[in-house]
Amino acid sequence: MYVGAKKPHDRVEVKGSPEISLLFEHGVAGDEATVAMLIAMVPAVLSIAPGVRTMAEAPVPHYRAGQ
């Protein structure tokens, strides 16, 4: 994404059965998406050992209904 992009969008494609294709017209706001990921990662960060870590070492974030 960049300023002045013609027809800005974000696309997610899942190759599998069934195949899924999602198109977010105008894109997802990067700042809001970053904050959402930070909030979603709090439980995962609290569960891993201290030290410098990468996202590959953290549990996959997921939605927790009712929490």
Categorize the per-residue pLDDT at 39 as very low, low, confident or very high, splitting at 50, 70 and 90.
confident
Range 34-61 average pLDDT: 84
Q: d(Cα 20, Cα 9) in Å, to the nearest integer?
A: 16
Average pLDDT, the chain: 84
More confident residue, 12 or 62: 12
Residue 61 in this model has a pLDDT that exceeds 80: no
Whole-structure pTM value? 0.46
Residue 9 in this model has a pLDDT that exceeds 80: yes
Answer positive or negative: Cα dihedral of 37, 38, 42, 47.
positive
